[in-house]
Amino acid sequence: MMNQPELLRGLLRDLDQITDHEVHEIIAGDCGHLVAVDSARMGIASWALHHPVPARELPLPGAAKSAKDLAQSLLSEDPMEATLGLACLNSMLPPPPLQKLRAIKAQDLILRYGRGKNVAVIGHFPFVAKLGGEFNQFSVLEKSPRPGDLHAEQAPNVLPSADLVAISATTLANGTLAEILAWCSPSAMKILLGPSTPLTPTLFVYGINILAGCLVENRGLVKQGILTGRSFKQLQGIRHVVWEM
């Protein structure tokens, strides 16, 4: 079984053949759940925390730092540092070939492939309240569970019987993705989703079947949205994309 550090180091190796860039800017608001790093491109990530982090409290490195060096923060056991590393990784990865991408919402994918089956979602996404009645069994696993959710500690009991598992990409920064994948059935369809999702085929090698993330198309709009505390759902200037194996 691959452990979390091995998985993360594999993702960081995607940068080995890429020219390094300076970190031009790190963007975080005082009341939002998103952070952006502007280097070769702009990459975003959701904080792997259960509360917003005011920008003044962040150990934000100054501009002109090597993006490859900042991306190494993904290996940190501190979720805040790891989130910065993940956003930086996303700012450095080359965009996937456009012909491989589709414009479809993650919840529509879950419905398409999971209807009538056993479905588990890691992370309480806004859409989960609308989906439950469509499946044979529907479980939402969350570290800070809301009414109707299961605590994330129930994952070993739930995931082995799931036909489809939708996983928040914040699991890359909170240290849990490798463990979650180990609990999933080899035959289960696994979707990694959310703004933190790295669009790299390396994740297909690790057993992910579908990547549901985003590309930044307008840096100014994304910066404005993050600084004003917009949620990912409200964020303008991005394109939601899906990449299937």
Mean pLDDT confidence for 225-236: 90
Domains belonging to the chain, first-starting first, are: 4-96 (3.30.390.100), 98-214 (3.40.50.11590)
Q: What is the per-residue pLDDT across 75-129, written as a single tens digit (0 to 9) for each?
A: 999 998 999 999 999 999 999 998 999 988 888 999 999 999 999 999 888 787 7
29: helix, strand or coil? coil
pLDDT tens column, 11-39: 999 999 999 999 998 998 877 789 999 99
Q: In sequence order, which ranges of the chain are alpha helices (DSSP H)? A: 4-12, 67-71, 79-92, 106-114, 128-131, 155-158, 177-183, 202-205, 219-227
Query: What type of residue is 196?
Result: S
Residue 126, amino acid: P
pTM, 2 dp: 0.93
